[in-house]
Amino acid sequence: MSKTIGIIGGGQLGLMIAEQARELGVRTICLDPAAEAPAFAVCDERIVAAYDDAAALEELCRRSDAVTYEFENVPGEILVPLCERYRIPQGYRPLYDSQDRLREKRNAREHGLRTPGFEAVDDEASLRAAVKRLGLPAVLKTRTLGYDGHGQAVLRSEADIDRALPLLAVPCILEEFVPFDFEASVVLVADDERVISFPVGRNVHRDGILDLCIVPAEVDPALTARMRAESERFMRDCGYRGILAIEYFVRDGEIYFNEMAPRPHNSGHYTIEGATTNQFRELVRYLVGEPLREPELVAPTVMKNILGQDLEAAERIAAEGRPGVAVHLYGKRESRPKRKMGHITYVGLTVEEYARDWAGRFV
């Protein structure tokens, strides 16, 4: 009898988990409040309910052999007791550690990763005191619920401090500004026996949202090897299992922990075609108790995020059917500027070739 994975969240990550599960002969059931959630097009069963609907989450767990989550903001007061009664292999700890930026930074530092300087900030007085200690420029971020550049502001002057005060309606963190050379990310999957990590990607952002992921990262191999080794050690030291993505700032050969996510990551989408196995498949293997497989890069790869303003261009590229160009559209009914609508993976392409032949096709 086939095993069933329950997925809390039916967005594009849930969709791609369900797609890989199906290829491995594993059933999926997704819970999402939106009746047209992308994952519902692929999963075997669906539950339409709010993420804080305790009865619905209980039903999802009861009908599943293992449960995972595709986003960080699952209510802890509901999930924690479910972890005690059902098989949620990743547990609650990595989710808890990633849900608050202050807790996340402290945890990273306590487990040996270098971080930018940071201070807890709760009001204007504590903000100005933190600015005096850390200096300007600095980055003010809400401690919870921020993503894709939302809930943060770069402070370069006194005027920026004044403009950022509305963020203090909720608890915040002030972080030292790192004038990084580039950002990179590592996706890892761990079981009780081993930790595997995917090739490091170099990330290029546009308006605070990931635009490109370039693999290999085109930097000193010793640096990416150190990044992977420190990430694997961190995951083991924290006792995490399942999937974890870590973003780093790279500056003058030094790496600084930025943030982590205990779920598949946008920067890891390239692995579907660009590696010998992918982040979603290895997560499924972990959830159903199958041995993990070490990934290798197939060829130089560029992953392009498709936002609402890029959708028409992506649809035209999909219709061309070019070899080595894999277009993934998530099936979201409403297209909006800056909303993630899909991604394109270019396998066997360098970033220079992408800039020459493809970048001009997007807005």
Query: How confident is the model over 165-191, as pLDDT tens digits?
Result: 999 999 999 999 999 999 999 999 999
Is 123 in the same domain as 170?
yes
Distance CA 5, CA 63 (A): 9
pLDDT band of residue 208 (cuts 50, 70, 90) is confident
pLDDT band of residue 110 (cuts 50, 70, 90) is very high
Helix (H) or strand (E) holding 29: strand 27-32
Residue that finishes a domain, picked among 152, 176, 200: 176
- Asked whether residue 68 is assigned to any structural domain, the reply reads yes
Residues 120-136 have pLDDT tens digits of 999 999 999 999 999 99
**Predicted pLDDT at 10:** 97
Q: Which of 51, 37, 43 is nearest to 82 (CA)?
A: 51
Is 41 in the same domain as 124?
no
Task: Summarize the confidence of residues 284-301 as an average pLDDT.
Answer: 98
Burial 242-266 (b: 16+ CB within 10 A, else e): bbbbbbbbbeeeebbbbbbbbbbbb
Is 122 in the same domain as 227?
no
| Neighbour-count burial of 231, counting CB atoms closer than 10 A to its CB (0-12 exposed, 13-18 middle, 19+ buried) | buried
Distance CA 75, CA 220 (A): 41
CATH value at residue 24: 3.40.50.20
Query: Total structural domains in the chain?
Result: 3
Is 200 in the same domain as 310?
yes
Give the residues across from 139 on adjacent strands. 154, 175
**Predicted pLDDT at 44:** 98
CATH value at residue 278: 3.30.470.20
Instruction: Please calculate the CA angle 350-355-356 and round it to the nearest 5 degrees.
Output: 100
Residue 218: count other Cβ atoms within 10 Å of its Cβ: 13
**Predicted pLDDT at 145:** 75
Is 293 in the same domain as 322?
yes
Is 341 in the same domain as 217?
yes
pLDDT band of residue 362 (cuts 50, 70, 90) is very high
Helix (H) or strand (E) holding 325: strand 325-329
Is 187 in the same domain as 203?
yes
Give the count of alpha carbons within 13 A of 219, CB side only: 24
**Predicted pLDDT at 78:** 86
Q: Are strands 209-215 and 254-261 parallel, antiparallel or unpaired?
A: unpaired
Amino acid at 338: K
Domain carrying residue 65: 4-88
Total-model pTM: 0.95
**Predicted pLDDT at 258:** 96
- Asked whether residue 255 is assigned to any structural domain, the reply reads yes
Q: Is the pLDDT of residue 1 over 60?
A: no
